[in-house]
Amino acid sequence: MRILTVVYTLIALALLLSFPEPASAHLVSTRFGELYSGLIHPLTALQHLVPWLGLGLLGGLLGNRTSRWVLLTFPLSAGAGALLAGGLPATAAIDHVNLFSFIVLGLLVALSVRLNRPTFLGLTVIFGLSHGFANGTPDLSGVPLLLYAVGVLLAAYVLIAIATAVTQLVSQRAAWGTIAIRAAGSWIVAIGLVFGGYSLTAGV
């Protein structure tokens, strides 16, 4: 926990220091500001929302010692991915990785695979970066992009925290819990296959 404390404090410090006063205009001069745009975008897009829920389900099945690290790795990776998107050209490979995340995460949940911590955290970083990148936009640069990326980070943090905790509660307290969660995993695979098929035939 001490490590988490230090890292969280550093995050808070970094966030505070990364918002110089001139950046403030962007938050109030736009409708919800870039921060709110970043916050809302992944939560209103099926291609992000479903795999993120899948990651939360997987984390919740793995127990406290592993799952709580996802609160750190996934949001930071998603935020970093959104920042990278501002400086790098868009590539179809990212969309393919995101489609792949449906299948991988859904299967891992459906089969209730007990991943070890490094593998699980590795997946959270890879998919965090890819989904964050897909959420990013090259139209923003400088501080607005940073605000947008922080919004993506916050969305990832809130969604993963709640999904992981709810999954853990359900799997521990209800006899049918794990079965229901594994069934949800199979649904994520099915959604991924439908969505992937549609996207690939549409020329993603």
Residues that bind other proteins (CB under 8 A): 1, 4-5, 8-9, 11-12, 15-16, 19, 21, 23-33, 35-36, 64, 67-68, 71, 147, 150, 154, 157-158, 161-162, 164-166, 168-169
Residue 67 CB, shortest distance to other proteins, in Å, is: 6
Residue 169 CB, shortest distance to other proteins, in Å, is: 6
Please state, in angstroms and rounded to a whole number, the distance separating the CA atoms of residues 94 and 132. Answer: 10
Residue 201 CB, shortest distance to other proteins, in Å, is: 33
**130 vs 171 by CB, closer to other proteins:** 171
**24 vs 116 by CB, closer to other proteins:** 24
Residue 36 CB, shortest distance to other proteins, in Å, is: 7
**1 vs 92 by CB, closer to other proteins:** 1
**72 vs 189 by CB, closer to other proteins:** 72
Distances (CA, A) of 98 to 82, 105, 122, 136, 204: 14, 11, 15, 14, 12
The length of the chain is 204
Give the CA count within 13 Å in the CB-facing half-sphere of 59: 29
Q: Using DSSP, state whether 116 is helix, strand or coil.
A: coil
CB 113 within 8 A of CB 80: no
Residue 149 CB, shortest distance to other proteins, in Å, is: 12
Distances (CA, A) of 186 to 1, 46, 191: 34, 16, 9
